[in-house]
């Protein structure tokens, strides 16, 4: 079977697997995996975020129980602080800055030879696919 004959599900799964592998590799330098990075990055983007909101935003990647485990590890590592809502500590802000730099380098690498227009079309297509499937 030729590449262009493989179904969209194959490419979605393959892309996600490769993204996870790449992100895990770069974030492991900082003692994080992809999901831990996503929690740290989400907290950085919304200081005083609640567990409920984190769980809603990260639902495609992890359930509330997993997010609670990650929060416990980030709290124990002095990367975040809080109880009812969470924010980054000074140490967490520095780690986030360092991680984000590597993350941006990885994104640039992943997007090479993909134009802004191609990216926007892909996002629009996937958004519509999700919308269609959500109606079922």
pLDDT of residue 59: 92
Neighbours of 131 (CB within 10 A): 9
Q: Structure tokens of 99? A: 């991680």
Q: What is the 3-state secondary structure (H, E, C) of 52-104?
A: HHHHHHCCCCCCHHHHHHHHHHHHHCCCEEECCEEEECHHHHHHHHHHHHHHH
pLDDT of residue 47: 81
119-136 mean pLDDT: 91
pLDDT of residue 136: 67
Q: What is the pTM of this model?
A: 0.83
pLDDT tens per residue across span 65-124: 999 999 999 999 999 999 999 999 999 999 999 999 999 999 999 999 999 999 999 999
Q: Structure tokens of 106? A: 């990885």
pLDDT of residue 11: 93
d(CA 136, CA 125): 17
Neighbours of 57 (CB within 10 A): 16
pLDDT of residue 2: 73
**Per-residue pLDDT band at 4 (split at 50, 70, 90):** confident
Q: What is the 3-state secondary structure (H, E, C) of 104-136?
A: HHHHHHHCCCCCHHHHHHHHHHHHHHHHHHHCC
pLDDT tens per residue across span 36-73: 999 999 999 988 999 999 999 999 899 999 999 999 99
Would residue 131 be called left, alpha or beta, if left means φ above 0 and alpha means ψ between -120 and 50 degrees?
alpha
Determine the Cα angle at 93 with ends 35 and 83, to 5°: 70
pLDDT of residue 63: 93
């Amino acid at each position: 079977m030729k590449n262009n004959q493989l179904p969209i599900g194959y490419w979605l799964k393959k892309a996600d697997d490769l993204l996870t592998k790449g992100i895990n590799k770069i974030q492991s330098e900082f003692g994080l995996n992809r999901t831990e990075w996503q929690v740290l990055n989400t907290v950085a983007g919304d200081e005083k975020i609640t567990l409920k909101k984190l769980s809603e935003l990260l639902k495609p990647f992890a359930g509330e129980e997993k997010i609670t485990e990650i929060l416990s590890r980030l709290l124990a590592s002095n990367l975040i602080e809080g109880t009812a809502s969470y924010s980054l500590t000074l140490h967490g802000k520095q780690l986030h800055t360092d991680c984000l730099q590597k993350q941006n380098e990885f994104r640039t690498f992943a997007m090479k030879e993909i134009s802004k227009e191609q990216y926007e079309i892909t996002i629009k297509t996937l958004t519509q696919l999700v919308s269609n499937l959500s109606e079922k």
